[in-house]
Chains A and B, each alone.
Chain A
Amino acid sequence: MPRLAKSDLVSIEDLPLSDIERIFELADSFSQAIERGETRRIAEGLIMATLFYEPSTRTRLSFESAMHRLGGTVISSPDMHTSSAAKGESLADTVRVVSAYADIIVLRHPSDGAAQVAAEYASVSVINAGDGSREHPTQTLCDLYVLRRKKGHLKGLTVAICGDLKFGRTVHSLIYALARFGANIVTAPFSGMELPDYVLDRIAAERNYRFSTVSLEELKSDQGSFDALYLTPNAPHQMALFTDANPLQDVPAARAPASLDAFYLTRLQRERLAGSNATPCNYAPFDARALRSSRTHRAVVMHPLPRTDEVAYELDSDPRAVYFEQAAAGVPVRMALIAWLLENRSRPAKRGNTSSIPFRGGTAPRCANPSCITRREGAYLRPRFRFAPTTNREHLALRCDFCERNLRVDYVGHTTSRRYYHFDESLHGYVRQWVEDGTLAVFDSVKEAEERGYEPYRRGPQREIMNSEEIAAACQAIAAQITADVVDPTMLAIVGVVSRGALLALRLRELVGRQTGVRPPCAAIDVYGQTALQPLDDTASFDVDGRLIILVDDVINSGWTVQRAMTLLWQQGRPAGVKLAVLIDRGHRALPIRPNYIGKSIPTSRTDRVQVRIAADEGGKPGERVLLYSLLESPKTAENPA
């Protein structure tokens, strides 16, 4: 029997408060042992594998140091990007293989939710050492440990968290953990780097937190100075989160907390911003002036390090600056975590996924988080969601099992009746029922629902606005315009939006090819599925760099589909230009996008649907047509709409 039973630390939420306390007791004893020069070789014979898909010095060294101090050994690969990952090995395969080499896997990965995937596929214990912008639970343990050592306890502290709250994974883990200890949290973000809504939603729904904004002026007049705010001179307000035992009671705008126990500062995560040298705003470094006021003079200053220039170096000698203690706590806390894993030999793995919503093939939504591991390793990972606790019943919120991000669902469908509905409050009961029956489907938009072969629950009478001859004539006209406009037909490529845009793209390709004498390459782009271009028909894969792309879709409405398709195109390279061809322009644009080639413009009302029915061939079949009908409201009666 292995000495170490499988027990993973993916999220700080995996640890009950009693276990956190136990880890801290162990950390105290290890910290004393290190000071006295004693060794505790309790992990002798155990092997830890450190898999770091992202660079890290502190986390990795402190894990390795902790393991060595306990008498264990460490194996690692210097950089996962140069080894198996570069060869295209999936995370699941890597951890399954490494499970045979080691007793513990420590993983750092750039994708949100990677640690959850590793925990599910590895047969040994997995410790999350940071996965994307999701969580970094061992850093949180170190933060809490230092906070507890400095303040004597963790219950009901008031902590100001400043800096990059959007991408800072240490911050998200810390906020969840502090919320469990009932802390008041004041957030003072760099402007544009606010705490994401999903973090707020989660602690509002699960920990009953309430949010109030505290104005700069109010804070200033209230107690002299609140210098934390000079970190965000551009921000008009900051947000404070206060525990709220009685959410129904109408409480006036929040006042600044009477005193602060800690400032937690973070670094700007430049590597997670779109541009490499981003400077969202100018801010002055945090220094001793912030600690002068009566409300802040007892506060300690924390920082997960490395710092860039958020904390003034003069502060280092101040006893309230505890960031180097935080770093030093890394080893005893991680020793304690390993010891705790050893103590929990018989602990059953507790992260069950029994509450996941069963989606039948093709009916599951895609996680909206572009950094989610399900988007990177979609070849074998099926998206998995559960109901998210939410404070707003008008929307259906699902939470990704991997990255824990909430997904707002606007359209739901019933897989047996093949009907879709715009979600509203009256559908909650049905949706629960459909989940039990395994018949729930969810969609991003009406377009997606219809792409997947669903019909609206109810619709008005339909009217034909184009017949097969008119469709064929429109394609001819568009092809003639393209031919007239194009300067170099060899640099043309035709890209259609899945699925009807792609069918039209194939037709345009043949028509343009006949007229110019050069058959352009043709590809499909799937805004709901894969990110790469899918070459169509006999097209070999081609480079979009320098090409004039004709982007084709059947109907343009808001323009969001086109915007997404362009974003996907730009991930492939730099086209020399993009021209947009649509069969139908129905108006109602929500974006500054204008098609270059339009088959027919039709005035429609917002609740109308335009449906293009065409087949996957040369076209001109008598059954082909464009239909217009109006969508009717979801059922308000008790009758089951399915």
Chain B
Amino acid sequence: MALDADALARCVKRIAYEIHERHSAAERLALIGIIRRGANLAERIATILNQTGRPLVEVGTLDISSYRDDDKSTPGDPRLLGRNIPFSLDDRNVVLVDDVLYTGRTVRAALAALADLGRPRSIELAALVDRGRRELPIRADYVGKNIAAPEGQRVYVKLSEVDGVDAVVIGETKPEAF
């Protein structure tokens, strides 16, 4: 286990405070979570931000999933499956939230989807875990924890909304409780 429930909560809180510090209350802020654990994290960050007395932060989601094309030997790239962003992104400061930042391919697809929707003023990236080994020139603005896991291993973020427990686990295969 890389993070227990307390440590995970502290990471989320720290990310929220860093976002709050970097964006004054006058700025129009929106959080976009990547489904599904990124969306849950975005909700948690929004809850903390909304306790700071700043105007309510709006939250939307992008559904970006990897798919594999069986006809080709190369793996497919993550792509947009759907979105739920019931507000305009024009001139807004957007924070994209994901659970694990790894190759950067999901983030690239998310940036393309957001650029397609409007003209945001800026897009920042928050990730609970950055496990390095990027394949694209993507970096996170807010990182909960850097975990250098070897290539064959996987990093699982478990959240109580989905998994019944808050934890970050490094494992070879899918854990039982997952």
Residues of A that sit less than 8 Å from B by CB: 191-192, 194, 197, 234-236, 273-275, 277-281, 370, 408, 545-546, 551, 560, 562-564, 566-567, 570, 574, 576-580, 590-596
Contact = CB atoms under 8 A, between A and B. Distances in A.
B82 A596 contact: no
A371 B149 CA distance: 42
B137 A591 contact: no
Given A551-B137, A592-B139, A574 B77 contact: yes
Given A591-B111, A592-B125, A279 B82 contact: yes
B123 A596 contact: no
Contacts of A275: 63, 79-82
Contact of B139 (A277, A279, A594): A594
A592 B123 contact: yes
A457 to B, nearest CB: 24
A423 to B, nearest CB: 15
B166 interface: no
Given A197-B88, A275-B82, A590 B121 contact: yes
Contact of A566 (B85, B86, B136): B136
A564 B111 CA distance: 10
Nearest to B86: A191
B47 interface: no
Contact of B77 (A274, A570, A580, A592): A570
A222 to B, nearest CB: 21
A2 B30 CA distance: 60
B82 A280 contact: yes
Contacts of A579: 137
A273 B113 CA distance: 11
A563 B86 contact: no
Contacts of B138: 592-594
Contacts of A277: 81
Q: Is the interface of B mostly helix, strand, loop or mixed?
A: mixed
20 contacts: A191-B84, A191-B86, A235-B86, A236-B86, A274-B81, A280-B84, A546-B74, A566-B112, A567-B112, A570-B77, A570-B108, A574-B74, A574-B77, A577-B135, A591-B123, A592-B138, A592-B140, A593-B137, A594-B139, A595-B137
Given A566-B108, A590-B121, A592-B96, A192 B85 contact: yes
Given A274-B80, A279-B82, A567-B112, A578 B74 contact: no
Nearest to A556: B137
B129 interface: no
A563 B111 contact: yes
Given A574-B77, A594-B137, A278 B82 contact: yes
Contacts of B90: 197
B76 A591 contact: no
B83 A192 contact: yes
A592 B141 contact: yes
Specify the main secondary structure of chain A where it touches its partner. loop
B79 A274 contact: yes
Minimum-distance CB pairs A-B, first 7? A592-B125, A580-B137, A594-B139, A275-B81, A577-B135, A590-B122, A274-B80
B84 A274 contact: no
Contacts of B119: 408
Contacts of B113: 274
A545 B86 CA distance: 35
Interface string B134-163: 011111110000000000000000000000
Interface in B87-116: 88, 90, 96, 107-108, 111-113, 115-116
Nearest to B88: A197
Contacts of A596: 137
Contacts of B136: 566, 577-578
B79 A192 contact: no
B84 A278 contact: no
Given A578-B136, A592-B139, A593-B137, A278 B81 contact: yes
Contacts of A576: 135
A590 to B, nearest CB: 4
Contacts of A562: 137
A273 B86 contact: no
Contacts of A273: 80, 82
A263 B117 CA distance: 27
A577 B105 CA distance: 9
Nearest to A278: B82
Contacts of B79: 274-275
B41 to A, nearest CB: 16
A562 B86 CA distance: 27
A592 B124 contact: yes
Task: Choose among A234, A275, A370, A551 the residue with the greatest number of B CB atoms under 10 Å from its CB.
Answer: A275
B75 to A, nearest CB: 8
A169 B107 CA distance: 31
Given A592-B140, A593-B137, A563 B85 contact: no
Contact of A563 (B77, B96, B112): B112
Nearest to A276: B81
A615 to B, nearest CB: 27
Contacts of B124: 592
A194 B118 CA distance: 12
A601 to B, nearest CB: 14
Nearest to B110: A592
A130 to B, nearest CB: 22
A570 B109 CA distance: 9
B137 A192 contact: no
A255 B9 CA distance: 43
A577 B137 CA distance: 9
A591 B124 CA distance: 6
Interface in B53-77: 60, 63, 74-77
B135 A578 contact: yes
Contacts of B75: 574
B111 to A, nearest CB: 5
A559 B24 CA distance: 22
Contacts of A279: 81-82
A579 B137 CA distance: 6
A444 B141 CA distance: 27
Contacts of A574: 74-77
Nearest to B137: A580
A280 B137 contact: no
B160 to A, nearest CB: 22
Given A234-B84, A579-B137, 17 more contacts: A273-B80, A275-B79, A275-B80, A278-B63, A279-B82, A551-B137, A562-B137, A563-B111, A564-B115, A566-B108, A570-B112, A574-B76, A578-B136, A592-B123, A592-B124, A592-B141, A595-B137
A577 B138 CA distance: 11
A58 B125 CA distance: 46
Interface centre among B74, B76, B83, B137 (most CB of A within 10 A): B137
A381 B175 CA distance: 57
A229 to B, nearest CB: 13
A593 B139 CA distance: 6
A522 to B, nearest CB: 19
Contacts of A192: 60, 82-86
Nearest to A566: B108
Contacts of B77: 570, 574
